[in-house]
Amino acid sequence: MTARVLIKDLAALPDGPVSVAGWVETVRDQKKVQFVVLRDESGAVQLVNPRTVGDDGVVIADEPATTISALSQGSFVRATGELKHDERVKLGGIEIRLTSLEVETAAIPETPIAADSGIDKRMDWRFLDLREPRHNLIFRVQTTFEHALRQYWVENGFVEIHTPKLMASASESRAELFELPYFETTAYLAQSPQIFKQMAQAAGFGRVFEIGPAFRADPSFTSRHATEFTSVDTEISWIDSHEDVMKVHEDLLVAGFTAVKEKHGEEIERLFGVEITVPSTPFPRIPLAEAKRIVAERGYEVQREDDDMDPEGERQISAYVKETYGHEFVFLTDYAASIRPYYHMRHPEDPSITRSYDLIFNGVEISTGAQREHRVDILEKQAVEKGLSVEELEDVLAFFRYGIPPHGGFGMGLARVLMLMLHLSNLRETTYLFRGPTRLTP
């Protein structure tokens, strides 16, 4: 059997025998000639089969004509034939003149989704939805983006860790926490690898990263929330402030965006109408209090009872940054201690604010980062101020009792980054299989 060739590689081959495989996208079954558009994971090609006509002018029911006539859209087939370069062929300037066609699996003729199907219906039939080139490209972009992040980490001396997702206690807070029976006790799904990233600092790893699942029992039905998501996490030792964390964060994103633009930029522009912009560094930095003043001057008052920014405020400050700096990213810094976890370090000159930040990308928060408090006596004090029990935190505080360097890091939502990079409106599009309050399938 002739070795299978990916469709994207056909253009570089000379005319001659070739074998391809994929699924049937369209069939035109005409009297004198048959056309099949075959798609695989790399692209699409036209298959051609001239019909055999007898001396009496009657079309003969031979192969592969009979098989082609019975083909349904979505069937997976193997095709062998002669590759021909012909600039008149609209689909890539090549075609394959068939000699044989083998059906591996036949598809049900009636397709349950269409181009105009709603997103929930599409999620029900995600495996069919992902055959669309536009949707398929999202996960090729994701692969390139993640590879570039890993390359940056490895080249800069980071250690990859894989932290447990079953925990004996909450990793962040008891809010939005999934619990499940675990033999004779109760376990919890990890909301973040935060505790374990910090443990790695106490272990002397220096710099660590992880790309892995995280879980939030959040009943939100917004376009940017999920109950299970992929978190991109980094933690680094020997920092002077959260400024060091932001520097790593922006350099990491530049590496990821550069790789995506170089490999997929033209295809993204063709299928999404989006030009990928590699962000310049440093990213703009605006203290939260100043950001709120800017937003107020634009005519919007933040609608929150606490000290945080709200979604409309994030959109407004992003618009300001785009207008003022021509930048899609902005670090909002110096969040109030009242809305940050007990382990965020506070400013020595103003303990009411923390050495922390949120990273906003095209109007949506994609990440939270901070310098962590490494002094155990201050950690205990701040935990008590937050209403937490020092005894319940002892397993965590033990990391700090045996020495730990100054450190900090961030966690970033992968699907949100991809959603905003491609200018999509819903992270369901950039999640392979979405999980939300009402979705546990497929």
Query: For residue 260, what are the contacts with CB-CB under 8 A and spacing of at least 6?
Result: 141, 144, 145, 148, 268, 276, 421
**Which two structure tokens, joined as six digits, stand for 388?**
């937490």
38 and 186 in a single domain? The answer is no
User: Is 222 annotated to bind ligand?
Assistant: no
Q: Select the more confidently predicted residue: 272 or 54.
A: 272
187 and 280 in a single domain? The answer is yes
Per the domain annotation, does 440 fall within a domain? no
User: Is 216 annotated to bind ligand?
Assistant: yes
Per the domain annotation, does 14 fall within a domain? yes
Q: Which helix (H) or strand (E) holds 137?
A: helix 133-155
Query: For residue 422, what are the contacts with CB-CB under 8 A and spacing of at least 6?
Result: 138, 141, 268, 272, 274, 429, 430
Q: What is the mean pLDDT of residues 265-290?
A: 98
29: domain CATH number?
A: 2.40.50.140
Q: What is the mean pLDDT of residues 298-311?
A: 93
Question: Which residues form the domain of 139?
Answer: 122-430
Q: Using the 3D structure, point to which of 80, 105, 130 is the last residue of a domain.
A: 105
What local confidence, expressed as pLDDT, does residue 175 receive?
72
Cα-based torsion angle of the residue sequence 333, 337, 338, 341 in order, rounded to the nearest 10 degrees:
100
**Is residue 328 within 8 Å of 362, Cβ to Cβ?**
yes
Share of residues in the chain with pLDDT > 90 (%): 92
pLDDT digits (tens, 9 = 90+) for 33-57: 999 999 999 999 999 999 988 877 7
165 and 277 in a single domain? The answer is yes
Per the domain annotation, does 190 fall within a domain? yes
**Is residue 60 within 8 Å of 50, Cβ to Cβ?**
no
Residue 303: band (very low, low, confident or very high) from pLDDT cuts 50, 70, 90: confident
Per the domain annotation, does 439 fall within a domain? no
User: Is 416 annotated to bind ligand?
Assistant: yes
339: domain CATH number?
A: 3.30.930.10
**Among candidate residues 52, 110, 48, 44, the one with its CA nearest the CA of residue 84:** 48
User: Is 217 annotated to bind ligand?
Assistant: no
**Which two structure tokens, joined as six digits, stand for 6?**
């990916």
pLDDT digits (tens, 9 = 90+) for 338-351: 999 999 999 999 99
Query: Does residue 172 have a pLDDT over 80?
Result: no
Per the domain annotation, does 294 fall within a domain? yes
What local confidence, expressed as pLDDT, does residue 220 receive?
86
The overall average pLDDT reported for the chain is: 95
148 and 53 in a single domain? The answer is no
pLDDT digits (tens, 9 = 90+) for 234-263: 999 999 999 999 999 999 999 999 999 999
Query: Does residue 162 have a pLDDT over 60?
Result: yes
User: Is 365 annotated to bind ligand?
Assistant: yes
| Residues 261-283: b if buried by 16+ CB within 10 A, e if exposed | bebbbeebeebbeeebebeeeeb
16 and 98 in a single domain? The answer is yes
Q: Using the 3D structure, point to which of 53, 75, 105 is the last residue of a domain.
A: 105
Give me the helix-helix angle, 311-325 and 288-297, nearest 10°.
80
Task: Quote the number of domains for the chain.
Answer: 2
175 and 323 in a single domain? The answer is yes
Per the domain annotation, does 112 fall within a domain? no
Per the domain annotation, does 115 fall within a domain? no
Q: Using the 3D structure, point to which of 58, 78, 105 is the last residue of a domain.
A: 105
**Among candidate residues 17, 62, 27, the one with its CA nearest the CA of residue 48:** 27
66 and 159 in a single domain? The answer is no
Residue 31: band (very low, low, confident or very high) from pLDDT cuts 50, 70, 90: confident
**Is residue 317 within 8 Å of 295, Cβ to Cβ?**
yes
Query: Does residue 60 have a pLDDT over 70?
Result: yes
**Residue 146 backbone class (left: φ over 0; alpha: ψ -120 to 50; beta: rest):** alpha
240 and 370 in a single domain? The answer is yes
197 and 269 in a single domain? The answer is yes
**Is residue 140 within 8 Å of 147, Cβ to Cβ?**
no
197 and 95 in a single domain? The answer is no
101 and 126 in a single domain? The answer is no
Give how far the C-alpha of residue 146 lies from the chain's centroid of Cα atoms, to the nearest Å. Answer: 9
Q: What is the pTM of this model?
A: 0.95
99 and 133 in a single domain? The answer is no
User: Is 281 annotated to bind ligand?
Assistant: no
What local confidence, expressed as pLDDT, does residue 176 receive?
83
What local confidence, expressed as pLDDT, does residue 121 receive?
97
Query: At which residue do the structure tokens 């405020």 appear?
Result: 313
Share of residues in the chain with pLDDT > 70 (%): 99
What local confidence, expressed as pLDDT, does residue 55 receive?
77
User: Is 372 annotated to bind ligand?
Assistant: yes
Query: Does residue 1 have a pLDDT over 60?
Result: no
Per the domain annotation, does 441 fall within a domain? no
Q: What is the mean pLDDT of residues 162-181?
A: 85
The amino acid sitting at 388 is L
